[in-house]
Amino acid sequence: MFNKVLIANRGEIALRVLRACKELGISTVAVHSTADADAMHVRLADESVCIGPPAARESYLNIPSLLAACEITGADAVHPGYGFLSENARFAEILEAHGIAFIGPSAEHIRMMGDKIIAKQTAASLGIPVVPGSDGAVTNDREAMKLASEMGFPVLVKASAGGGGRGMKVAWSADQLPEALATARSEARAAFDNDEVYIEKYLSTPRHIEFQVLGDGKGNAVHLGERDCSLQRRHQKVWEEAPSPAINQEERERMGEIVASAMRKLQYSGAGTIEFLYENGEFYFIEMNTRLQVEHPVTEMITGIDIVNEQLKVAAGASLSFSQEDITFQGHAIECRINAEDPATFTPSPGQITYYHPPGGLGVRVDSGVYQGYRIPPHYDSLIGKLIVHGRNRVETMMRLRRALDEFVVDGIKSTAPLFRRLVGNADVANGMYDIHWLEKFLAEGGMSTDK
Ligand code: ADP
């Protein structure tokens, strides 16, 4: 096992990794920008190193600074968390070249899945069903038009290097396609310095269902069931739950086996998520994330498996200590991402938390890096924390969530907690009846207006 792990991240996920390290007896190194000197991950780590000014590109994304921090502290491994450098193959390679372990999959797998076109081709070749679309990149608008007309509109233009919902444009009809292609290309060029795009059938009312996988790089791999992340705003997940209210045990086992077997063939190492859209009983692969995800706790709650602990063990060379038959699913879990944002307009609301009271009690978990008096800096994402609740079934979990939300107090800044209080009382949400567009429609129809 590693002696000392440097956590190349901040906020709640840095704390999450730190906790797993402590439970394994591993020393921890926190890194931070000058804006994060008094952050909780810095306070709780055994050592800390300031790696640069507030701008992420000069601190949390600054590879030379991170390498220097490893050298100064003698860290023998780096956990990248999510975001920042977590899916940067070059970072993984540079660390390996310096004899430092990257806690994640191989650079080859990161690169393969980071290119959405190659990822889709790989998935298809491994027997994973994919969304119908262009075979590869579309470079010629005339060919794109021909293909789209054959598939039928609407179609979605997506950036090969895409992420965070950027570089994605819907063309509802043929006359909208040239502009969708041009806008997606220029957005992709600006965001990813790569304007390669491809075309996919636009699914009109799908759910987002993803499978968590774990592999040890030696041909062993398991799935930990699915998460339903259909409640989204601007393609960003807001509420995640496991199991999905929409699929049955037969579908879970069938798809789970398809993804686990694909990971065995790839000899995938570490944690990963295979994302699907699900419509009319069919699953369609959209992408694979080769890292820990924000919503991993819901899977931990229903399986009892500490995913970060497994990442650490596998990265240190251990084989998976359990097989698929050892994994059992218990009850239901829901996660709400509570952001420092206005709950109606979603305008960021950084600033000082004057009073903070997180909820507690049976089946309630809060993963957060904030504390009373903490000042949320304006430079990074606006996550205050994740409220995760677990119950024996979905009804009990919803009742517990309602109760936990009532206890949650964050004063001094605006938070999206009121949005979740509305959602938990909504009949469609209570019945699990929502697709990926439901939340946008709810908001557009005044779901957060004060007179409702
Ligand atoms: P990103 O990496 O930018 O997050 P994804 O491919 O994961 O992009 O897609 C993000 C979201 O966009 C999905 O969860 C879904 O809401 C929507 N989406 C992606 N592909 C399609 C599609 N073919 N049809 C309809 N919606 C889609």
Residue 451: pLDDT over 60: no
Annotated catalytic residue, options 252, 291, 337, 394: 291
φ/ψ of 447, rounded to 5, equals: -55, -25
The predicted structure's pLDDT at residue 450:
74
Spatial distance between the Cα atoms of 261 and 127, rounded to a whole number of angstroms: 9
Tell how far the Cα of 229 is from the centroid of ligand 1, in angstroms: 11
Say if CB 367 and CB 385 are below 8 A apart.
yes
Say if CB 72 and CB 52 are below 8 A apart.
no
* Residue identifier of the C-alpha nearest atom 6 of ligand 1: 286
400 counts as catalytic: no
* Residue identifier of the C-alpha nearest atom 17 of ligand 1: 235
Pick the CATH number of 4-95 from 1.10.530.10, 3.40.50.10540, 3.40.50.20, 3.90.700.10: 3.40.50.20
φ/ψ of 250, rounded to 5, equals: -65, -45
Spatial distance between the Cα atoms of 24 and 20, rounded to a whole number of angstroms: 6
> What residues does ligand 1 touch, defined as CB less than 6 Å away?
131, 156, 162-165, 200-203, 206, 208, 232, 235, 275, 277, 286-287, 436
Tell how far the Cα of 120 is from the centroid of ligand 1, in angstroms: 13
Average pLDDT over residues 314-330: 97
* pLDDT grade for 188, boundaries at 50, 70 and 90: very high
158, 198, 200, 277, best to mutate for ligand 1 pocket (most atoms within 8 Å of CB): 277
Give the tokens for residue 367: 């993963």
Q: Is the peptide bond before 105 cis (omega within 30 degrees of 0)?
A: no
Which of 297, 386, 369 is closest to 10 using CA atoms? 369
Pick the CATH number of 132-201 from 3.10.50.40, 3.30.1490.20, 3.40.50.970, 3.40.640.10: 3.30.1490.20
Whole-number average pLDDT of the chain:
97
* pLDDT grade for 292, boundaries at 50, 70 and 90: very high
The predicted structure's pLDDT at residue 85:
98
User: Domain 207-444 - what CATH class?
Assistant: alpha beta
117, 197, 235, best to mutate for ligand 1 pocket (most atoms within 8 Å of CB): 235
Kindly state the percentage of the chain with pLDDT values over 90.
97
Average pLDDT over residues 399-427: 98
The predicted structure's pLDDT at residue 382:
95
Q: How many CA atoms lie within 13 A of 102 on its CB side?
A: 29
Average pLDDT over residues 51-63: 98
Spatial distance between the Cα atoms of 435 and 288, rounded to a whole number of angstroms: 20
One-letter-per-residue 3-state SS of the chain: CCCEEEECCCHHHHHHHHHHHHHCCCEEEEEEEHHHCCCHHHHHCCEEEEEECCCHHHCCCCHHHHHHHHHHHCCCEEECCCCCCCCCHHHHHHHHHCCCEECCCCHHHHHHHHCHHHHHHHHHHCCCCECCECCCCCCCHHHHHHHHHHHCCCEEEEEEEEECCEEEEEECCHHHHHHHHHHHHHHHHHHHCCCCEEEEECCCCCEEEEEEEEEECCCCEEEEEEEEEEEEECCEEEEEEECCCCCCHHHHHHHHHHHHHHHHHHCCEEEEEEEEEEECCEEEEEEEECCCCCCHHHHHHHHCCCHHHHHHHHHCCCCCCCCHHHCCCCCEEEEEEEECECCCCCCECCEECCEEECCCCCCEEEEECCCCCCEECCCCCCEEEEEEEEECCHHHHHHHHHHHHHHCEEECCCCCHHHHHHHHCCHHHHCCCCCCCHHHHHHHCCCCCCCC
Burial of 252-283, coded b for 16+ CB within 10 Å and e otherwise, reads beebbebbbebbbebbbbbbbbbbbbbbeeeb
Residue 452: pLDDT over 60: no
Say if CB 297 and CB 334 are below 8 A apart.
no
Give the tokens for residue 349: 């609301």
Maximum alpha-carbon separation in the chain: 61
Say if CB 59 and CB 82 are below 8 A apart.
no
Sign of the dihedral through C-alpha 140, 141, 146, 151? positive
CA angle 294, 361, 304 (to 5 degrees): 50
- Compute CA distances 373 → 33, 276, 366, 376, whole Å: 19, 40, 18, 10
Tell how far the Cα of 72 is from the centroid of ligand 1, in angstroms: 41
Q: Does the pTM exceed 0.85? A: yes
Tell how far the Cα of 121 is from the centroid of ligand 1, in angstroms: 17
pLDDT, tens only, 152-185: 999 999 999 988 778 899 999 999 999 999 999 9
Residue 267: pLDDT over 70: yes
Kindly state the percentage of the chain with pLDDT values over 70.
100
Give the tokens for residue 77: 């491994």
Spatial distance between the Cα atoms of 78 and 95, rounded to a whole number of angstroms: 8
* Residue identifier of the C-alpha nearest atom 19 of ligand 1: 286
Spatial distance between the Cα atoms of 451 and 271, rounded to a whole number of angstroms: 44
Same fold, 4-95 and 207-444: no
Spatial distance between the Cα atoms of 200 and 151, rounded to a whole number of angstroms: 9
Spatial distance between the Cα atoms of 112 and 93, rounded to a whole number of angstroms: 14
Spatial distance between the Cα atoms of 406 and 108, rounded to a whole number of angstroms: 46
* pLDDT grade for 446, boundaries at 50, 70 and 90: very high
Q: Which amino acid appears at position 30 of this protein?
A: A
Domain boundaries, the chain: 4-95, 132-201, 207-444
pLDDT, tens only, 214-252: 999 999 999 999 999 999 999 899 999 999 999 999 999
